[in-house]
Amino acid sequence: MLLKIGTRGSTLALVQADRVCTMLKAKGIDTEIKVITTEGDTNTGVPLHEIGGQGLFVRALDDAILRGEIDAAVHSMKDVPAIRPPGVLTSAVLPRDSPADFLAHDKSIDQVRVVGTSSTRRKAQLLRYDPSVIIAALRGNVDTRIRKLAAGEYDAIVLAEAGLERLSIKLPGNRLPPEKFVPAPNQGTIAIVSRMEPSLTEIMSLLDDPVTRSDVAIERAVMEEVGGGCFTPLGIYCRNGHLIASVLSLDGTREVRVEHDIRTVAEARDRGVELHNEARELIKEAYTLLGISMRDEGAGGNK
């Protein structure tokens, strides 16, 4: 059986897809990689929230699965939206890599003033830590971002540590501890999405890591109840059932933060509802300031 594995065309996406193919090959499954180009890959001049958020990348691959062009797709799981189209599911979650962000810079931290990132979460967290920094928009793949840093366009840039590790890239800088700079939900995790066909899901389940799946399911449940999508500065991180979740104002001056030990997804949803209620005004404020309608939130039912 030959499986067609879809992916974006960036270097990181291809490395992640190749990891999945290598794991499947070890199970005796033949694969081939098919690159799917998305608007998010070609339109890098504007912030993601203006063209549909990270879910833009996933939708193109979902459509390819449903059209039968590919059998499955490999994603950074943090990019997979809460609401999924009928006919596809997350059929495997690989063991988690580092969930942390990494602040890359080649000068003294005291000299860092202009930091490149287009993530509202990273912007708010950096401003909360140091209100004097200037956040400048930065998009593009990892190579493009590093090249802009080397060209002196920024004093520092923020990247996912897992992406650097997967690409075997070593940069000077600082790991941002996830307990303080709470990562995006599911950051550091690779997911495999496939059609809802028993033959496919049975194969993909061979690669599934139950511990990681449990932690990211808790994070996702909280995310769905809090709402906000990629528009709100929202960090959610669970490790072995210990949950940290944080909602910030866009300027980083205010934060609602909770920590709990979670045993079930149902309990995670309860904590998510509580966090949503406590952070309701911050979520609404973020949408207002970004000029985005709340109906675009695309998350859980507790708005």
Active site residues: 79
> Of 181, 271, 282, 176, nearest to 228 (Cα)?
282
3-state class (DSSP) for residue 259: strand
What CA–CA distance (Å, rounded) separates 176 from 251?
Answer: 19
> Of 43, 37, 91, 94, nearest to 64 (Cα)?
37
What CA–CA distance (Å, rounded) separates 260 from 243?
Answer: 5
What CA–CA distance (Å, rounded) separates 233 from 252?
Answer: 9
CA distances from 94 to 14, 77, 161, 220, 270 (A): 16, 10, 16, 16, 26
Helix (H) or strand (E) holding 34: strand 30-35
In 74-197, which residue ranges form alpha helices assigned H by DSSP? 120-129, 142-150, 161-166
> Are the beta carbons of 91 and 120 closer than 8 angstroms?
no
What CA–CA distance (Å, rounded) separates 48 from 186?
Answer: 18
CA distances from 209 to 147, 175, 191, 298 (A): 35, 25, 10, 27
Neighbours of 50 (CB within 10 A): 13
> Are the beta carbons of 138 and 148 closer than 8 angstroms?
yes
